[in-house]
Homo-oligomer: A and B are copies of this chain.
Amino acid sequence: MGIQDDAVAAAARHIETNGRDILNEFLRFVRMPNVSADLEDVRAVADAIAEQLLRRGVSARLLERGGAAPLVTGRIDAGPDRPTIGIYAHYDGQPVDQEGWLTDPFDPVVKSGEAVVHDPTDGGAIDPDWRIYARSTSDDKAPIQALMSALDALADASIEPAVNIVLLFEGQEEAGSQDLAAYLEANADWFGADMWLICDGPVHQSRTPQIIFGVRGIAQLDLTVIGPVRGLHSGHYGNWVPNPAWALVQLLATMRSSDGSVVIDGFYDDVVPPTEAELVAISAIPEYEKDLLAEFGIHTPEGDGESMVERMYRPSLNIRGLDAGPVGDRAANVLPASATVSIDIRLPPGHDPGFMIDKVVGHIERQGFAVFESTPSIEERRSHERVAVVTRDPHYAGMRVPIAGPVGEAILGAARAASESGEVVAMPTLGGSVPIIHFDRVLDVPTVIVPMANHDNNQHDANENIRIGNLWYGIRLMAALMTLQKTTDLRPQTSDHRS
């Protein structure tokens, strides 16, 4: 047994012995309101976290920036020869005005299935399948509690951390993280690390622990086909004045083949196929697609048999909105003045957001459209048979950390040590886009997502919850991360960590 296994065993013993105290501490923590918009509540949570860190001997402080919620930060030092890992979580939470809350969002209730467990910390056994219902139990106070309890477990067992740790607990993630990049830029030395771990989000649908090595980037555009200057009577002018809704659907139809592949010139040029290690990881992901299709009511997914993860290696061209006047009872007999589609493009690493929008615009122009950036004048409309307006919104590129590299091996080792089954899902990429670009780009550090929560946690919705077994996993995982192994190759850090 190495030090990491010792640390995980110490965490397991600590849970066994002190489970009710951990639970009580966590219940107190989630009882503190933390809706992002309520800055006083959020500050109180930040103060409480700093106090908890200081009580455990961690040098903690709050970073302030204008009127924004403070960052809670702290360092745990293992020695200058040791690698440094950054641990990120956020202590603010979503609003609680959703319909359907069965209990008070800030008065946590423990349930066994539908039944309330009235005295969960009475000394009896705590069932890992119980769940705690309250806002931010999963998203994202659990990792903070897990860190605190892991510190206690290691202290009890007199195990020293094997790596330096820099902590960053953010208070405005659910409000858009608008100050995070500036906070990082202003404190780049302090937040320097060999890797950053984003402790947020859910583990795999199969309840197997999961490490996520990449995200897709995102670019957005709105495309409006311009018709007559005002909506016209569809009887008087229909099939004489060209209808921009028809022009839009016919233009869009030229962008995709019937099998769902995008036929815009060069759209897939920069696709990097999965590496050997990623293919192995993909084939080891537990089957869950059939359940998803059944849940969504879908007959056949796109992609001619490719797995969902493999599909995420390609950029997507998604219609997220389409509007050319109301339908159903609200429809009017008009020939609409314009028709608009809103598109989001999800980008694997290597696809530049602006360049991908250029490809789409180039395609539109090749279909004979004069493309404007804002509504053209009536003379400009009359000068072109086909007129469109495109609004560009390139957000950020995607990123991916190699599964088989030193970061991947170290993190997967920790998660494997903490996993009850010894199994871990190595997910090469999320289909979604998470602004961990701040760590990847501002700090130029390999960044992976290290989730703890159950996938069915009702994140962002009413009745958010965490399965207690997942909190326990989080504590073991934090113990394993503090004693991270296989870190020899981590330093010196290289800047070409992106795959």
Interface residues of A (CB under 8 A from B): 216, 218, 220, 222, 227-230, 232-243, 245-246, 248-250, 252-253, 256, 258, 260, 293-303, 308, 311-312, 314, 316-328, 330-336, 339-342, 344, 346, 378, 381-385, 387, 391, 430-433
Contact = CB atoms under 8 A, between A and B. Distances in A.
A346 B249 contact: no
A238 B346 contact: yes
A30 to B, nearest CB: 25
A189 to B, nearest CB: 33
A327 B332 contact: no
A312 B264 CA distance: 37
7 contacts: A222-B328, A235-B344, A236-B430, A321-B327, A321-B328, A327-B341, A328-B391
A235 B430 contact: yes
B234 A302 contact: no
A179 to B, nearest CB: 22
Contacts of A383: 299
A238 B299 contact: no
Contacts of A430: 235-236
Tell me the dominant secondary structure on chain A's binding face. Answer: mixed
Contacts of A260: 239, 242, 246
Contacts of A431: 233, 235-238, 240
A72 B242 CA distance: 42
B320 A334 contact: yes
Contact of A234 (B235, B245, B320, B341): B320
By Cβ-Cβ distance, the 4 closest A-B pairs, closest first, are A235-B432, A253-B253, A322-B324, A245-B319
A296 B241 contact: yes
Contact of A311 (B216, B230, B239): B239
A333 to B, nearest CB: 5
Contact of A243 (B228, B319, B326): B319
A387 B383 CA distance: 41
